[in-house]
């Protein structure tokens, strides 16, 4: 038998905030995988400005997914929830498995809980995440009640170099949302650093996407290994 080849994952980012934290999760869960990052931090700015995913952003994302294929990716990971629906559309146009970082988180929330609060600092992430959870619930034949938890001003505070204000606004929003929800879902992967603190102040379970997303990548890679072994 030949030597087992190193698997490659190409992660596509629309901003810089998640790149290093996600690399740490890969190092822990998939240390043997070669992780290649494609970062275009102009994308999220255009999405925020437009209030949705403009056609130009969707086109560039598609190009990056194709670049991932050209780089020899076994799996492509879309790391941004704001552009998740553009990633859905791209799946039919690329042969490489494309994992969305928030798919597993949304499915877990929809299957295990009935009243779900979605926390975000951007409406462009909040709305697609709520739609994704609704879709996962429909697929599972479940009904869920969604609570919108937009921490207004938090994104601007973080962008303006005031992380303490960002955290205060997010925790305030989390406390309020937790009053009418069983679980809190963090719509943005970059919010995962607040997971334990939010759990602490609300007393509710909290779901974030980075670890669950990398676990989903791991499951796809394991399935590919089994296929390759003829299992």
Residue 142 has pLDDT above 60, yes or no: yes
Please tell me whether residues 153 and 224 are part of one structural domain: no
User: What is the dihedral sign for C-alpha 194, 170, 144, 133?
Assistant: negative
Residues 166 and 35: their CA atoms lie apart, in Å, by 30
Q: How many residues can be counted in the chain? A: 231
**Number of domain units in the chain:** 2
> What pLDDT does residue 24 have?
96
Please tell me whether residues 201 and 113 are part of one structural domain: yes
pLDDT tens for each residue of 37-81: 999 999 999 999 999 999 999 999 999 999 999 999 999 999 999
Supply the pTM of this predicted model.
0.93
Please tell me whether residues 72 and 135 are part of one structural domain: no
- Domain residues for the domain of 112 are 103-208
- 120 touches 129 (CB < 8 A): yes
């Amino acid at each position: 038998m030949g030597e087992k080849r190193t698997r490659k994952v190409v992660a596509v980012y629309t901003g810089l905030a998640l790149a290093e934290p996600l690399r740490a999760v890969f190092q822990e869960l998939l240390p043997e995988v070669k992780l290649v990052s494609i970062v275009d931090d102009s994308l999220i700015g255009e999405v925020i400005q437009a209030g949705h995913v403009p056609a130009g952003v969707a086109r560039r994302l598609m190009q990056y997914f194709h670049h991932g294929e050209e780089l020899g990716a076994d799996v492509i990971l879309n790391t941004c929830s704001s552009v998740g629906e553009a990633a859905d559309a791209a799946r039919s146009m690329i042969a490489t498995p494309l994992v969305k970082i928030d798919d597993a988180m949304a499915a877990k929330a929809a299957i295990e809980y009935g009243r779900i609060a979605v926390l975000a600092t951007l409406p462009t992430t909040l709305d697609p995440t709520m739609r994704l959870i609704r879709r996962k619930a429909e697929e599972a034949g479940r009904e869920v009640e969604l609570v919108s938890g937009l921490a207004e001003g938090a994104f601007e505070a973080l962008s303006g170099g005031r992380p303490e204000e960002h955290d205060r606004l997010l925790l305030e929003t989390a406390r309020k949302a937790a009053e009418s929800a069983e679980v809190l879902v963090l719509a943005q992967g970059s919010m995962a650093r607040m997971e334990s603190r939010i759990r602490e102040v609300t007393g509710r379970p909290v779901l974030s996407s980075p670890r669950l997303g990398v676990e989903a990548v791991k499951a796809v890679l394991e399935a590919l290994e089994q296929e390759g072994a003829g299992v």
